[in-house]
Each structure stands twice: as C-alpha cells, then as structure tokens.
Amino acid sequence: MRTFIIKANKAHTKADFKLKDLPGTSGRIDLLCRVLNSAFLLSHGFRKNVRVWLSLYGPPNPPKAIRFEGQGMKPKTLNPDELSTAKLIIKALKVGENLREPSKEIQVLPGIYVSNLTFEDIIRRTLKGATLYYLHEEGRPIERVNFSQNVAFVLGDHEGLTPEDEAFLSGIAEKVSIGRKSYLASHVVAYVNIFLDSITPPP
C-alpha cells in the first residue's frame, strides 16, 4: 500500500476558480491534478494500492482535505487529462463547502472523501498504518532505503513545505531523495511509483 500526501499551501479551498485558467486562479490546483494522474494511472490500468491525500490550505476556508482511495474508486472516475480531474476536485470542494465538523469525512463519489482534516490530522492517521517519508532533494537516496509493505510519502507543492511543516515532520518522517535536482511534484510521484514497482515484493 502506497500513500502520497501533498500539502498545497495555496490551493483554493472553495470552487471559486476558473477551469480555463487553473494556474492563474486556483492556487495551482492544476499541479494537484497532475499528481493524481501520476499516483493512480497506468497505461490502460489503475493502481488500486494507492491512496492520495490532498491537504489544501489556500483561501478562503482552510483547511480542506480530499482523500482518494484506490481500493474504493471506480477506475473510470479518474482520467488522464487535467480538466476532468479538476472537475473532480471542484465537485469535492462543493460537497465540502458547508461542512463544519473538524473530523467528519463526507463521501463525494465512491472512494473520494472531503473533510476539514488538518495536515497534522492526516499525518497522525497515516502513521498508524505506514512508515512515513518526506520526499526532499537532500534526503537519503531512494535506492538505499529499505521499504516496508506500507509506505507513505509527503510532498510539497510548487513552493515546497513551510519551515513549520518541516518542523512538524522532523523526527517522524525520514527524508528520501530521488536526485539532487528539484523536480515537479507530479514527476516525483511518477518516479517513486515506477521505482517501487521494481522492488520485490512491491509495496
């Protein structure tokens, strides 16, 4: 089982942006769409052993969390193109708009849930069942890590995690690197997935 947690500090927490201009109006929801593509999609296939948490902290109602559960999702729900994925996120934000409870999750579609969970809530839940890693340029080279069967990876958005996020993770998540360059989050997720496929047995 593989979990990817992406903290998107600018991503809008209400569907108040333009589908035609995601980079300019949504706090980079386009980036989250590409991360979902990399996390779940194979050529003519779908990774059921993946979970993705989007942890959104942009205006106007942070935090919002959207959980995508490979086990529960219908494979045809997620398509490769950015716009159709953005529509799923918009749908989740609309369903979650009047939610007040801090920890209740509402189902948006099979396998997709929206809530007001914080980044810290997500990390604490994840730690119960998986070993946590923080993907970072300066971490331990991925080929030297001994992965267990349940792994979870935290990534930042285009601006990376804040010092506060990093302070929270220190001591609970080992830093892991796929190289010394700084890559786009979606490329990192694609690389990690393909790398993990080569391990026997793959997580």
Instruction: Confirm whether residue 135 is marked as ligand binding.
Output: yes
**Of 178, 180, 103, residue with least CA distance to 133:** 178
Task: For residue 152, state whether it binds ligand SAM (rule: CB under 6 A).
Answer: no
Q: Is 179 in the site for a second copy (CB under 8 A)?
A: yes
Beta-strand pair 64-69/41-42: unpaired
Number of residues that bind a second copy (CB under 8 A): 34
We find the least distance from the C-beta atom of residue 70 to ligand SAM, in angstroms, to be 19
Min separation Cβ 34 and a second copy, Å: 7
User: How far, in Å, CA of 183 to CA of 158, rounded?
Assistant: 9
Candidates 46, 168, 183, 195: give the one binding ligand SAM (CB under 6 A).
Answer: 183
Single out the segment in contact with ligand SAM by CB under 6 A; choices: 66-74, 121-129, 164-172, 183-191.
Answer: 183-191
Structure tokens at 31: 């980036």
Q: Is 154 helix (H, G, I), strand (E, B) or coil?
A: strand
Candidate list 41, 130, 178, 190; residue touching ligand SAM; CB under 6 A: 178
What does the H/E/C string look like for 26-75? CCCHHHHHHHHHHHHEECCEECCCEEEEEEECCCCCCCEEEEEECCCCCH
Cα gap 201→188, rounded to integer Å: 21
Residue 179 assigned as binding residue: no
What is the closest distance, in whole angstroms, from the C-beta atom of residue 56 to ligand SAM in the complex?
A: 15
Token pair, residue 97, equals 């708009």
What distance in Å separates the CA atoms of residue 62 and residue 127, rounded to the nearest whole number?
23
Which residue among 1, 174, 183, 203 contacts a second copy (CB under 8 A)? Answer: 183
106 touches 96 (CB < 8 A): yes
Asked whether position 185 contacts ligand SAM by CB under 6 A, the answer is: yes
Q: Does residue 172 touch ligand SAM according to CB under 6 A?
A: no
Number of residues that this document lists for the chain: 203
Residue type for position 109: L
* Closest residue by Cα to residue 188 from 144, 139, 149: 139
**Segment 58 to 117, residues that bind a second copy, using CB under 8 A:** 79-84
- Interface residues with a second copy (CB under 8 A) are 20, 22-23, 30-31, 34, 37-38, 41-45, 79-84, 158, 178-179, 181-184, 186-187, 190-191, 193-194, 197-198
Binding residues for S-adenosyl-L-methionine: 135, 156
- Interface residues with ligand SAM (CB under 6 A) are 43-44, 135-137, 155-156, 158-161, 177-179, 181-185, 188
